[in-house]
Amino acid sequence: MQRRTFLASASLLAFNSAEAEVKTKAPATESSTRGIGGLRACSNPARIEFGCAVTAEALRTSMSLRQALLRECSILSFERELKWLLLAPQRGQWDYGRADTIADFCRHNQMKARGHAPLWHAGMPSWINGTINRKDLWREIEAYFSNVVDRYGDIIDSWDVVNEALEQNGNRAGALREGLLSHILGDDYIASAFILAKQLAPAIPLVYNDFGPEYSFTKTRSILRLLEGLKRKEIPVARFGLQAHLSTTMKIDQLSLKTLARELQAMNIDLIITELDIRNRSAFLDEAGVNNVCANKVREFLEPIFSIAAPRQIVTWGLLDGYSWLSSKMYKTNSLPQRPLPLDENGKRKPMWSVLRQFLCG
pLDDT in tens, the chain (362 residues): 333 333 333 333 333 344 444 444 556 555 445 557 899 987 665 679 999 999 999 999 999 999 999 999 999 999 999 999 999 999 999 999 999 999 999 999 999 999 999 999 999 999 998 788 999 999 999 999 999 999 999 999 999 999 999 987 655 656 888 888 998 999 899 999 999 999 999 999 999 999 999 999 999 999 999 999 999 999 999 999 999 999 999 999 999 999 999 999 999 999 999 999 999 988 767 888 899 999 999 999 999 999 999 999 999 999 999 999 998 877 766 676 789 999 999 999 999 999 999 999 87
Cα–Cα distance between 153 and 155 in angstroms, integer?
5
pLDDT score for 350: 97
Pairing type for strands 112-115 and 75-78 reads: parallel
pLDDT score for 240: 98
CB atoms within 10 A of CB 304: 19
Identity (one letter) of the amino acid at 104? D
pLDDT score for 176: 87
pTM for the whole structure: 0.89
- Count CA atoms closer than 13 A to 140's CA, side-chain side: 26
Cα–Cα distance between 49 and 179 in angstroms, integer?
34
pLDDT score for 284: 66
Give the three-class secondary structure for 116. coil
Give CA separation, 344 vs 149, 161, 347, 357, in Å: 34, 32, 5, 16
State the DSSP code for 177: P
pLDDT score for 338: 87
47 contacts: CB under 8 Å, gap ≥ 6: 360, 361, 362
| Residue pair 65/343 in contact by the 8 Å Cβ criterion | no
Pairing type for strands 112-115 and 156-163 reads: parallel
Angle between the N-to-C axes of helices 287-308 and 254-266, in degrees from 0 to 180, rounded to the nearest 10: 40
> Going from the N-terminus, what domains does the chain have, and what CATH number goes with each?
38-361 (3.20.20.80)
**Would you say how long the chain is, in residues?**
362
Cα–Cα distance between 343 and 185 in angstroms, integer?
42
Give the three-class secondary structure for 319. coil
What sign does the CA torsion over 255, 273, 293, 329 have?
A: negative
Cα–Cα distance between 100 and 88 in angstroms, integer?
14
Helices (H), the chain: 3-25, 56-61, 63-72, 84-87, 97-108, 134-152, 180-185, 189-200, 217-232, 254-266, 287-308, 351-361
State the DSSP code for 166: B
pLDDT score for 1: 39
- Count CA atoms closer than 13 A to 294's CA, side-chain side: 31
Cα–Cα distance between 160 and 163 in angstroms, integer?
6
Identity (one letter) of the amino acid at 235? I
